[in-house]
Amino acid sequence: MLTTSTVSNMGFLIALQVLPFLRVLWAPRLTLEGEIPSNWGTCQNLEMVNLGQNLLTGRIPIVFGQCRKLKFLNMSSNKLSGGISEVIPVPCMHVFDISGNQLSGPIPAFSSNMCHLPQPFVDNLSFAYASYFLYGTRTGLVLPYLNSADGGMLIYHSFGGNNFTGSLPALPIAADAFGSQILYAFSIESNQLAGPLSWNLFEKCNTLKVLFANFSNNLIQGEIPEKNASLCHPLKVLDASGNQLTGPIPQSLGLSKNLVALDLSWNRLQGQIPVNFENLKDLRILSVAGNNLSGEIPSGLDQLYSLEMIDLSFNHLVGAIPSGFVKLKNLSVLLLDSNKLSGKIPNMSSVTIFNVSYNNLSGPFPFNSSKLRCDSFYGNPLLPPCPMLALAEPPTNQQGFIGDSQVYIGMPSGSPPAKSSNTGFSSIEIASITSASAIVSVLLALVVLYIYTRKCATRESRLSAGQREVSLFTEIGVPITYESVVRATGGFNASNCIGSGGFGATYKAEISPGVLVAIKRLSIGRLQGVQQFHAEIKTLGRWRHPNLVTLIGYHLSDDEMFLIYNYLPGGNLERFIQERSKRPVDWRMLHKIALDVARALAYLHDNCVPRILHRDVKPSNILLDNDYNAYLSDFGLARLLGNSETHATTGVAGTFGYVAPEYAMTCRVSDKADVYSYGVVLLELLSDKKALDPSFSPYGNGFNIVAWACMLLRQGRAREFFTDGLWDVGPHDDLIETLHLAVTCTVESLSIRPTMKQVVQRLRQLQLPTC
């Protein structure tokens, strides 16, 4: 067995040549680089290989086809490219995961004729290793939906998050080799697979005990076949969201009585929700959002007591909300916004995430409305004004914060919260006392820190030679010294200043004739400024990407701090948006900018180890060159996130209007917070509005560009959203698709928000031919 501690000290080639009896090679998350050797020698005894979450490049070697006992191969989250060979015995493997790479070409029809399965997979292996993988983050499709009756052998094959093309393959599993107790998870999401959703691909389905299938975020077209749609009885999870499916939802899906989760959202489906969905008694997740469905919500849905989430938003549904929904005690998410529903709002006491905005609802607010956000009711003209939210001990799902400042939604601007009826302190008094105490504590801490650092810093250290050093990460062909930087900026003269922020200013500097750089000078004496300085060095000093600004070097001393970047003459995206009336509208240009920024964020989230959360994505932090290539900048608030972490708990950072609501409320930040910020930026790029545009003031507190986009989509006025001239020159379908994508990035539910890799995938699908 070769594990993390040993592989980190010896190469793959040596290890596999000198260890012919090696059975387990376990080396995830070691930042291993380079190509995987193809001349391993013998691997006849090799049973498990885990090289996931490294920086490996090149192709997947066909030598794996010679490893006849190999049952576990995890090469996910690397930088592998090229195609995949049909000789690799994928059907014979219990775990095959190549997700999150850059693989391309069609997915071959793998042969299962050479499967050798002399004994169950984990009989002679450490069960701890199998458990480590099976209970990791990548099996989120599977584990939440298993129950005590689903005993059997779990087999997991994932091709997701690559660039595979062609048609959907048949299920790559040698079902007859494993027996009849197979729990099979097949994931092929976020590729570029096209063609129809043929149910022939489930030809081996009924040889399984349970099937979990994920085909989301591809280019699958056509109708879901009515015939044979119910023949796959073991089907438990079906995710075909984010494709181009058309036609009605087949009635025969209502006969798939083992379904636990069904997601057909963000397609182009029409017709009504099948009435016989009331037969799906085990259904826990139902999402058909973002389609063109019409008719009423089937009343039989209120008999599905297992339901935990219902998302019917962004359709054309009419009629009343079924009153029986109040009996669904397991229901925690109910999203009905952007439809044409009417009648009263039921009192959904068990629901924690609830949205009925942009409908035609009337009557009083439900009794538990104090637990809900007012923007969950926006766009219903027949409803009374939203009642003031409860201020004491808000529930964790309440999102009364927008950006990094608190907004009491539903109150007139500037109005203080009402005092409580008892004789104690009011909420505002408690907040004032708490804020004052915090300020005094911070000031005392800074005084102590100042005295301590002054005592520790001697005059000799301040005058040492190190005070004038410039550390470089990248050579630019001319020497860069402290003196040349000061001279090129005119002693940081205001005439050379090209931008300023909360922690300093940026200057244009011509180091030598024709060689321009940007100098970001940080303010001395500010603790946050020092933290920002180190955050930028820690991120940009190590990672390189075509759509990230290049950190050339830095200087750090007691009396001066500055960072040296490549100079980008096109200014920032904020200025571009403000001044675009001076140039013709070009959809290709806007699409390219959006795609460049998405690629940069996807790289930070999926390719960096540890992962990087930017936390301050906004137009002023996106720079442009003369060809309108976009570069993400300003990593002073960046946060590193370990691969095993789904989120981090940290103080709220960012800019008002761009901070995700769940982050502002709970201080729990994840990559989905960057996705939210990106969605706001994309909305600004498409429109002539700012995130918190003054024109939104008539709609009340808390109304922002996200609410405006949802309102126009719901009212069928999407054309009004786009900046002047864009609708006339851009393809209408692509513009609407991009607007829907931006809105999806800002939805309340984190599970519905796409990843940045999925955003890149969707934008690539809209890629326009070059002239």
Residue whose C-alpha is closest to residue 59's, from 41, 86, 85: 85
Whether 753 has a pLDDT exceeding 80, the answer reads yes
Whether 372 has a pLDDT exceeding 90, the answer reads no
Question: Are 24 and 43 a contacting pair, CB within 8 Å?
Answer: no
Considering the domain architecture, whether residues 378 and 296 belong to the same structural domain is answered as yes
DSSP single-letter state for residue 387: P
> Whole-angstrom Cα distance, residue 98 to residue 380?
47
Domain stops at, among 116, 141, 161: 161
Annotated binding site for ATP: 520
| Coil vs helix vs strand at 110 | coil
Place 504 in a pLDDT band, splitting at 50, 70 and 90. confident
| Coil vs helix vs strand at 84 | coil
Predicted confidence (pLDDT) per residue in 541-553, tens digit: 667 788 888 888 8
Annotated binding site: 520
Considering the domain architecture, whether residues 577 and 533 belong to the same structural domain is answered as no
Identify whether 203 is part of a domain: no
Per-residue pLDDT, 283: 93
Q: What is the mean pLDDT of the chain?
A: 76
Number of separate domains in the chain: 4
Per-residue pLDDT, 447: 52
DSSP single-letter state for residue 82: E
Give φ, ψ of 491 to 5 degrees.
70, 35
Considering the domain architecture, whether residues 557 and 594 belong to the same structural domain is answered as no
Identify whether 21 is part of a domain: yes
Q: What number is the average pLDDT over the span 581-609?
A: 87
Whether 575 has a pLDDT exceeding 50, the answer reads yes
Considering the domain architecture, whether residues 289 and 373 belong to the same structural domain is answered as yes
Question: Are 208 and 153 a contacting pair, CB within 8 Å?
Answer: no
Considering the domain architecture, whether residues 606 and 748 belong to the same structural domain is answered as yes
Per-residue pLDDT, 74: 92
Which CATH number is 52's domain given? Answer: 3.80.10
Considering the domain architecture, whether residues 599 and 744 belong to the same structural domain is answered as yes
Per-residue pLDDT, 531: 62
> ω before 384 within 30° of 0 (cis)?
no
Considering the domain architecture, whether residues 719 and 584 belong to the same structural domain is answered as yes
> Whole-angstrom Cα distance, residue 268 to residue 290?
8
Dihedral sign of CA atoms 118, 119, 124, 130 in order: positive
Which CATH number is 487's domain given? Answer: 3.30.200.20
Identify whether 185 is part of a domain: no
Whole-number percent of the chain with pLDDT over 70: 72
Considering the domain architecture, whether residues 509 and 580 belong to the same structural domain is answered as no
Higher per-residue confidence, 142 vs 23 = 23
Tell me which residues are annotated as active site: 616
Lowest mean pLDDT among 246-255, 300-309, 346-355, 485-494: 346-355
Residue whose C-alpha is closest to residue 684's, from 547, 549, 576: 576
Residue whose C-alpha is closest to residue 106's, from 130, 123, 82: 82
Domain holding 634, by residue range, is 573-765
Q: What number is the average pLDDT over the span 23-43?
A: 79
Considering the domain architecture, whether residues 562 and 615 belong to the same structural domain is answered as no
Whether 426 has a pLDDT exceeding 60, the answer reads no
